[in-house]
Structure 1
Amino acid sequence: MAQSSKSTYFNQDELQDHKAAYEKGGLGNAASLIQQKLNILCNTELNIAVMGDSGAGKSTFLNAMRGVQGDDDRAAESGPTETTMKPTSYPHPHLPNVCFWNLPGIGTTNSPTKMYLSGMTFQIYDFFVIILHGRFRENDISIANEIKKLGKNLYFAHSKIDSDLYSMRKRNRNFNEGEELKTIRRDCASKLEEAGSSALTVFLISSFEMNGFDFPNLRETLANNLDDLKKHIFMMSLPNTTLEIIHNKRKGLKKQIWMLATVSGSVGAVPVSGLSFACDTGILVCAIKEFRKYLGLDNASLQRPANRTGKPVKDLKAVVKSPLLGEISKDFVLQKLKGSVFGGISAAKPVFDFIPVIGPIFGAGSSFLQTRKMLNNVLNDLTENAQRVVKAVFGTD
């Protein structure tokens, strides 16, 4: 195969099916199967359960992961007492198929562990994050062991580490942050070993510093323990707080471009005046809008980091130098396909390329090559601008 299943979201059986469909019924047959995979990629659900005692920092963590502020209408409620006695869902602001769930701590209910597990329908969640602040409790370990029996991944996050360190610094003029962090890690590891859960790791985090302490490591660990489809969805859901996150989003979106180009040039495509090839401009319009949203460059996505940092949103928009932030219509797409910035492969230059599940495609004027060229250029442009925004927001690489 020209590309591995890992790089195309297809397993080997699916790649063989697509190749057989092409050999039997041509590009249209194979493109229909590719469209089905794109639909699955867009609609696959990811359900993330967040647990912990009242006051541990669950709500702040939920809001941080969704990129919303505490005063946002969509924010998880927070307070000194338990604000939820049943699972409460918090959909992602622009990815409704990604949902975070605030689960009540077992210490807030009158149910034994077994009844609690049944009432919380743990089977529906893809993984669990238990937020801790302070000591481990017997219920935390009990729930962790039951979750492991279900074959689900579980992660402990010791929250408010910034506040803890601040208090230690005030109490001790000889305070050494590195040594204190090592002490906290050893203590957490010791508690887990005593409870027979030494294989688990405790991440030391502050939900107000998503690029500090163990938060980046936690994000990476959560992503890497998901299958390819759900990892892609999880990565797209992350707030843009680092250049690495943007880089990973670009890699994920780039994997879809050949799929979109194949579908655009085959399923329902019609010749367009002024172009030497047929394409589905509606697919390209949707793709550009989706790329822009995932990379945090639509209006709503730019407003969220502005709210979080107190920077005027107009200052963030000022660093974006791209026509792709304006209205994206079929006329806009056609104009760019005819131009040389986002499209326009010279027919005089021989080009050789391939569709991974089919094989080689020859000819600079093919629909596949033209639309793939445009989407690659669009993605590069949006990535560069998303990087500028992150630098403007956080003042660092």
Structure 2
Amino acid sequence: MAQPSKSAYFNHDELKDLKSAYEKGGLENAASLIQQKLNVLHNVQLNIAVTGDSGAGKSTFIDAIRGVQGDDEGAAETGTTETTMKPTPYPHPNLPNVCFWDLPGIGTPNFPAKTYMSAMNFQKYDFFIIILHGRFRENDVSIANEIKRLGKNLYFVRSKIDNDLYSMRKKNKTLNEEEELKKIRRDCVSKLKVAGFSAPTVFLISSFEMNDFDFPELRETLANNLDDLKKQAFLMSLPNTTLEIINNKRKELKKRIWMLATISGSVGAIPVPGLSFSCDIGVLVSAIKEFRKYLGLDDASLQRLAKMTGKPVEDLKAVVKTPLLGEVNKEFVIRMLMGSVFVGISTAEVVLDFIPVVGSIFGAASSFCLTYKILNNALDELAENAQRVVKAAFGTD
């Protein structure tokens, strides 16, 4: 049997436990631990704090990164004066366990600097984003230094770059945008250095142009600085604005397939009519629906994307060419299994390097192979359709 090694979502000790569980109680015993890990994946909490001056663009940023428009239900409250009187949660519309928190400004009568940190309960947040527009104030320094003291990650975001460039362009028709962006960045960095930050990174963004300026780099940086569990939650929460986002989601979801296949072939398995193996069809139904939701192909996500891009939702749905967006139920999955030509799948076709009990799985449960292949193909098919939707929404090739 293969020795435990590095595995997506499982640390070394958990892999040892998984191997031991199989040796003591067989595949069903190991599947119980795998189900526990899947439950953790579904329920992992990610709390992101967003702070900055009133009018800096906090609310617009919170809506943009959740794929929400200002007039949608659940949109963040906006205003030119301080509208946030307490830490206000804005959960993701599809993944409520991913939550952005709009923190009120420091130094106001409601939140004087000396009591601000304790009132905001800084410990609860996984990382912080300070939205800047204009000068970097002493209060911002106070917040940033406290975040550093707590050992939390902090990101400086300079918002409304599109507005700045528009104003400059009105004054200078031959504006060199690249040079102006460099000037803005140097100015922000120099002020942060004066405030005591030795090598600060500042992301220049527009919340209305999520694929331009530094917004893609910001998304990538935020994801890469999270552990595996929270990273997958963050990636799944991103609105589909680029093909890269969809590819990243597909990679993360592929890491779950061996776990789902193990459970389908063991716990709660029932015979499939006309086939010589058993599986948990409910697992397959739920997995396909989850893949569809995470890849932004559910009705609510398509409506939000259409609204974001100004395209009719019918145009986005027209490019979808898969029955997987229809009614997915027990009967649908059984038809998929009956029509499958993948029963002869070999171990070489499955990504096995992170499965500690793989030899025994293939020896004991042929249903693992077919279930793995069915889910893998379903995921690829949904991801390809999600890419077509993004191309139609944003007019990209």
Deviations 1:217-268 (A, max 9, x none): 0000100110000000000000000000000000000000000000111011
Between the aligned partners of 2:198 and 2:245, the Cα distance in structure 1 is 30
Q: Is the 8 A contact 1:85 1:108 kept in 2?
A: no
Do the aligned partners of residues 386 and 23 (structure 1) sit closer, same or farther apart at CA in structure 2, a change above 3 Å counting? same
8 Å CA contact 2:8–2:228 kept in 1: the answer is no
Structure 2 equivalent of residue 93 of structure 1: 93
Q: Distance in 2 between matches of 1:3 and 1:384?
A: 33
Give the equivalent residue in structure 2 for 1:278.
278
Aligned to 1:307: 307
Q: Hey, what does 1:369 align to over in structure 2?
A: 369
* Cα displacement (A) at 1:109: 3.9
Q: What is the match of residue 250 of structure 1?
A: 250
Task: Kindly provide the CA deviation profile for residues 371-395 of structure 1, in whole angstroms up to 9, marking residues without a partner as x.
Answer: 0000000001001000000000001
Contact 2:265 2:365 in 1 (8 A): no
Aligned to 1:31: 31
| 1:200 aligned counterpart, secondary structure | coil
Q: How many Å separate the matches in 2 of 1:374 and 1:364?
A: 19
Q: List structure 1 segments (4+ residues) > 6 angstroms apart after TM superposition.
A: none
Provide the rounded CA distance (Å) in 2 between the counterparts of 1:198 and 1:325.
50
Letter in 2 for 1:357: P
Point out which structure has higher relative CO (alpha carbons under 8 A, 6+ apart). 2
**Contact preservation (8 Å) 1:189, 1:198:** no
Whichever residue aligns with residue 358 of structure 2, its letter is G
Preserved contact between residue 59 and residue 102 of structure 1 (Cα < 8 Å) = yes
Q: Matched residues, percent identical?
A: 73
Q: Is the 1:46–1:233 Cα contact (8 Å) retained in structure 2? A: yes
Whole-angstrom CA distance in 2 between matches of 1:74 and 1:45: 19
In the alignment, is the contact (CA less than 8 A) between 1:188 and 1:202 conserved in 2?
yes
Could you tell me which runs of 5 or more consecutive residues in structure 2 were left unpaired when the two chains were aligned. none
Unmatched segments (≥5 aa) in structure 1: none
The 1:87–1:382 alpha-carbon spacing in structure 2 relative to 1, beyond 3 Å, is same
In the alignment, is residue 162 of structure 1 matched against residue 145 of structure 2?
A: no
In structure 2, the CA distance between the partners of 1:312 and 1:142, relative to structure 1 (3 Å rule), is same
Partner Cα distance (1:129, 1:369) in 2: 44
Paired residue type of 1:358: V
1: CA distance, partners of 2:364 / 2:242: 37
Give the direction of change, closer, same or farther, for the CA distance of 1:53–1:364 in structure 2 (3 Å limit). same
Contact 2:4 2:15 in 1 (8 A): no
Q: Distance in 2 between matches of 1:114 and 1:277?
A: 66
| Equivalent residue number for residue 83 of structure 1 | 83
Classify the secondary structure of the residue corresponding to 1:32.
helix
CA distance in 1, matches of 2:159, 2:57: 6
Residues 148-183 of structure 1 deviation map (CA, whole Å, 9 limit, x = unaligned)? 111111111000000001111111234210110111
Aligned to 2:355: 356
User: What is the CA RMSD across the aligned residues, in angstroms?
Assistant: 1.7
Q: Does residue 175 of structure 2 align to residue 175 of structure 1?
A: yes
Q: Do 1:69 and 1:75's aligned partners in 2 also have CA atoms closer than 8 Å?
A: yes
Q: Is the 8 A contact 1:22 1:30 kept in 2?
A: yes
**Which residues of 2 match residues 198-277 of structure 1 at below 5 A?**
198-277=198-277
1:169 partner letter: R
The one-letter code matched in structure 1 to 2:356 is V
Amino acid of the residue matched to residue 167 of structure 1? S
Inter-partner Cα distance in structure 2 for 1:325 and 1:139: 49
Cα deviation digits, residues 75-103 of structure 1 (max 9, x gap):
10111111111011111001011111110
| Counterpart secondary structure, 1:108 | coil
Cα distance, 1:350 vs. partner? 5.8
How far is the alpha carbon of 1:351 from its aligned partner? 5.2
Letter in 2 for 1:215: F
Would you say 1:321 and 2:327 are equivalent positions?
A: no
SS of 1:26's equivalent?
Answer: helix
CA contact (8 A) 1:345 1:365 kept: no
Q: State how far apart, in whole Å, the 1-side matches of 2:140 and 2:13 are.
A: 41
What TM-score, normalized by structure 1, do the two folds share?
A: 0.95
Superposition map of 1:323-342 within 5 A: 323-340=323-340
